[in-house]
Structure 1
Amino acid sequence: MPRISTDTRARNEEAIRAAMDRLLRGELPSGGRCDIKTLAAEAGVPRTGFYAKRNRDGSERRGPYQHLAEEFERRLKALQDAGTVPDPRDGQIARLKEDNAALRDRVSARDAEIAELKTSRQRALSQITAQDAELQRLRRQLESGTVRRLPAPGPAPFGSCS
């Protein structure tokens, strides 16, 4: 003998279908989502009716509204595959995930650029240090008198080259 009467079950199924249609159109209650929990609350039926049950012998039996839960999930997936998102938060989550991925890409590109600039800076510092050491060596050599100074250039012997 079922726990609920046939009339009650029929009224509940009608309420579930009406709630399902509202949710899939995007008419969500405040704080609600497009899911089984909200569907059950909107229809005024216990959520446990949407899930399978276990008998005492361990065998599984379908919940009284499990077929409606499967229909709801199927219709929701079809809407999502078609590009329609009845739950605006799901669309917001998808958009934020895309934004997050784009920002991660930008950060990775900037990190690579910074690493390249650090390498270039280190190379430039090494070259400057080597040039400074060479200048110091040449100055010491000049001060020690082992190098003769060249005469200052005078006027060009044959005029300008231009």
Structure 2
Amino acid sequence: MRITAAQRTANENRIRAAMDRLLRGEIPPDGRCDVKTLATEAGVDRTAFYGDRPYAHLREEFEARLHTLQQQGTVPDPRLAQITRLKAENTALRERLTERDETIAELAAFRTEALSRLAAQHDEITRLRTTGPTAANVKRLPTRNTQIGPC
């Protein structure tokens, strides 16, 4: 079915109005900033935007304007902006988690080494107490009483 020039002009005007709304960020619920939503908002069949169909030039214009906005750092679709923000946040959290895991591993290794050194020092002190004084000027210290009560 052929459309008249007036119908085509009216369709193009509806498409341009829908294009402006989408690019301003007025995205309908369950929609995105894409050609499918553009066609739905304008009340035009989506296939008219592809190939050598009558509104292919409007699809190219829409995609070019969308690309320009994205290069300027403006994202008309709030969901895409949210997805981008959440991906960046997820990456940052993963990096923090990796750093924390490394810190925990380092602290666990330090703790193991410190306990090992304390045990070795305790063993050396115990060994030295049992060997007794060998020099005349070394006094043996009394051992600690392990009973509970006054000393």
- Category of TM-score, reference length = shorter chain: 0.7 to 0.9
What is the TM-score when the length of structure 2 is the normalising length?
0.77
Aligned residues between the structures: 139
Measured against aligned partners, the alpha-carbon deviations of 1:50-72 in whole angstroms (never above 9, x if no partner) come to 223xxxxxxxxx33322211111
Measured against aligned partners, the alpha-carbon deviations of 1:20-58 in whole angstroms (never above 9, x if no partner) come to 011111222122211111101001112122223xxxxxx
Q: For residues 1-162 of structure 1, what are the structure 2 equivalents within 5 Å?
A: 3-7=1-5, 8-52=7-51, 62-142=52-132, 147=134, 150-151=138-139
Correspondence for 2:148: none
> Once the 2 structures are TM-superposed, how far is the Cα of residue 147 of structure 1 from its aligned partner?
4.7
CA distance in 1 between partners of 2:125 and 2:20 (Å): 84
Measured against aligned partners, the alpha-carbon deviations of 1:81-124 in whole angstroms (never above 9, x if no partner) come to 22222112222222222222221222122122112111211211
Give unmatched runs, 5+ long, in structure 2: 141-151
CA distance in 2 between partners of 1:115 and 1:16 (Å): 59
CA distance in 1 between partners of 2:73 and 2:80 (Å): 12
- Provide closer, same or farther for how the CA distance between residues 151 and 28 of structure 1 changes in structure 2, counting only shifts above 3 A: closer
- Provide closer, same or farther for how the CA distance between residues 135 and 88 of structure 1 changes in structure 2, counting only shifts above 3 A: same
The CA RMSD over aligned residues, in Å, is 2.4
> Secondary structure of the equivalent of 1:64?
coil
Give unmatched runs, 5+ long, in structure 1: 53-61, 153-162
